[in-house]
Amino acid sequence: MGARSRLVVYHPLVPEKRIENRGSHWVPDAEGFLPTRPDQRPIAEPWASAVALVVDAYRDRLGPALHSVYVRGSVARGLAVEGVSDLDTFAVLVPCAPPELDPSAFASWSSEVDARVTARHPAVVGVETDLVRYDQVVRGRGYFAFALKTEAACVHGPDLADQVAPFRLGPDVAFQTKFFRKHLAIFRREYPSEPPAERPGFIAWLARRLLRLGMELVMLQEGRYSRDLDRCYESFARYYPAQAEAMRRALELAVNPTADAASARFLTEFGEWLAGLADQALLAWGLAPEPSPAAS
């Protein structure tokens, strides 16, 4: 799967999921900073037991190299839906973690954790695990630092949220704008050879990135930000009504992915159009657009 995170395998017997208006927008303060994480509330069942299993897996695998574990996304925010939501987690390594603890080497372990947790907790659709270097969150300005500061719940170890500087609305949180061309190239290169059982998950993977890119492209006009898919669609459609139907289709594929040639072609064609807008946005912010990776 290359540079992708582990994908959820979508099973044909899972009933179609409804697109629900459950998300929200984040409004920046007077200085332009997005809200930091509210006071943490305990994660409720059935998610709490699944979280405990994942924490145990991190502890067993990493031992003294583990600093802390976080849950992000809908489970952390109390918006998870049984049989629909994933359990998204990441672990931060201690500052002196050995170099051989490379996150890219943990793909098979991640799949094992996913299988173990979903077998015991059917409410959980899939489990995502990631390893993050200490400096990436304390001194970095990437996505995991952002998630830790704004929404992630610390479920094991010392919480690092207070050590992360706040994020400002604009280029500071334009993660998809900066890296979408890379993601689109990964899809084009790897989707044709993807195992059939994983193709719907790959379709959803790219569709989510289209939606979040759409939000980033209009966040300054909106004066607010969201990573929730329904809110991303809503904001983008307000400023690009001619493309609202296309983004609505992306939303449907993100929630109920269909792994056929037409869906893959639509995502790559609409994605290429959005990538052009992303290039323009980066230039307007004084940043160099990322070159399209060469096809392999």
pLDDT single digits (tens) 86-123: 899 999 999 988 877 666 677 789 989 999 999 999 99
Burial call 38-77: b when 16+ CB within 10 Å, e when fewer: eeeeebeeebeebbebbbebbeebbeebbbbbbbbbbbbb
Give the angle 37-64-101 at the CA atoms, nearest 5°: 85
199 touches 170 (CB < 8 A): no
Alpha-carbon distances, residue 225 vs 28, 110, 174 (angstroms): 8, 30, 10
Q: What is the torsion angle, in degrees rounded to the nearest 10, for the CA atoms of residue 179, residue 26, residue 256 and residue 279?
A: -30
**Structure confidence at residue 218 (pLDDT):** 98
Q: Please give the radius of gyration of the chain, using alpha carbons only, rounded to the nearest integer.
A: 19
Query: Bridge partners of 66?
Result: 93
Cα distance between the two ends of the chain: 14
Alpha-carbon distances, residue 265 vs 37, 192, 216, 222, 255 (angstroms): 38, 11, 23, 30, 18
The class of domain 47-163 in CATH terms is alpha beta
**Structure confidence at residue 3 (pLDDT):** 44
**Structure confidence at residue 104 (pLDDT):** 65
Q: At what angle do helices 199-222 and 175-190 cross, to 10 degrees?
A: 160
SS3 of residue 127 by DSSP: strand
**Structure confidence at residue 40 (pLDDT):** 75
CB atoms within 10 A of CB 287: 14
* Residue 110: CA count within 13 A, CB half-sphere: 23
Residue 124: both structure tokens together = 């959980």
**Structure confidence at residue 28 (pLDDT):** 94
By DSSP bridging, strand 127-128 and strand 87-93 are parallel
**Structure confidence at residue 21 (pLDDT):** 57
* Positions of the chain with pLDDT lower than 50, given as ranges: 1-15, 295-296
Distance CA 144, CA 156 (A): 16
**Structure confidence at residue 11 (pLDDT):** 39
Distance CA 79, CA 57 (A): 24
205 touches 259 (CB < 8 A): no
Non-local (6+) Cβ contacts of 180 within 8 A are: 209, 213, 271, 274, 275, 278
